[in-house]
Chains A and B, each alone.
Chain A
């Protein structure tokens, strides 16, 4: 009898904490309870961010860089020369994007890859995701001809050229398909 009561109580606690967490952003409890959903990176869920960043390139989820990196990138002056391009935004739009990036930056997230990126960038402030040591390590065994020498990929920066579920924040190797190299595993 005691046993069933205990189980019921445990179930209630689990249900309460998980449903509460589902409504909020990414919380410790959600991370603790639903393992499978936190393995990757939180997908972009802000329309302004998705539209503005996505109008020129894959809209990198904020969980791929720490806040200190986003602060460097998403600055009015920095954006007027964004890797060689003028990506200026009006003040209001920039604030929306900046706030969203800061709230969802790697160190604020409980998603596994964001945790790893947080650790990897503790002593540095990379402005390119491809400079994050964790990201480099994950890709270092892929031959150059498949990335730089591949006309349909060109650079490691084009995440979604190979990561078919990048828009969902999923980057595991099962979902990778390298253009022109269908047999790569």
Chain B
């Protein structure tokens, strides 16, 4: 019985560690964005980008919160399909930002869907910095 508890707390600790403010995946991306011309990343700028409005769809001005919601520690909901989106905040969802390929895939899709264009390396880095602080 005791052994089980030790194991459980170990697993818990592992999850907490991975929810820290940077992951190998984001380190890799920050380096890549810098190589693509971005200069230093700012969570405040990222926060503004997060709510910046882009395309108008079905009468709604699209921005990140339309699907991800206002509280990043809570699940969001896709505005069209209704699909539940897991929380963006790493503190609530330790799996977030642990896979560089996945992050890039969704940046490409969602920037296009919200702003009608791909995001720049600078914008992506800032947004990532902002989300990691949550």
Residue contact A88 to B101, C-beta cutoff 8 Å: no
Shortest Cβ distance from residue B85 to the other chain A in the assembled complex, whole angstroms? 9
Residue contact A89 to B112, C-beta cutoff 8 Å: no
- Give bound CA distance, A121 to B115, whole Å: 37
Residue contact B80 to A85, C-beta cutoff 8 Å: yes
Which residues from chain A contact B80 at a C-beta distance below 8 Å?
84-85
- Give bound CA distance, A85 to B111, whole Å: 11
Tell me the nearest residue of chain B to A89, going by C-beta. B105
Of residues 32 to 83 in A, which have CB atoms within 8 Å of B's CB atoms? 55-57, 80
- Give bound CA distance, A90 to B57, whole Å: 26
Tell me the nearest residue of chain B to A152, going by C-beta. B82
Which residues from chain B contact A57 at a C-beta distance below 8 Å?
81, 83
The size class of the interface chain A forms with chain B is: 10 to 19
- Give bound CA distance, A56 to B108, whole Å: 15
Residue from the list B78, B101, B112 in contact with A56, Cβ < 8 A: B78
B53 at the interface (CB under 8 A from A): no
Residue contact A88 to B109, C-beta cutoff 8 Å: yes
Which residues from chain A contact B101 at a C-beta distance below 8 Å?
90
B42 at the interface (CB under 8 A from A): no
Which residues from chain A contact B95 at a C-beta distance below 8 Å?
none
Tell me the nearest residue of chain A to B118, going by C-beta. A86
Residue from the list B82, B105, B113 in contact with A85, Cβ < 8 A: B113
A162 at the interface (CB under 8 A from B): no
Tell me the nearest residue of chain B to A85, going by C-beta. B113
Extra inter-chain contacts (5) besides given A86-B113, A88-B108, CB under 8 Å: A85-B109, A86-B110, A86-B112, A87-B109, A90-B101
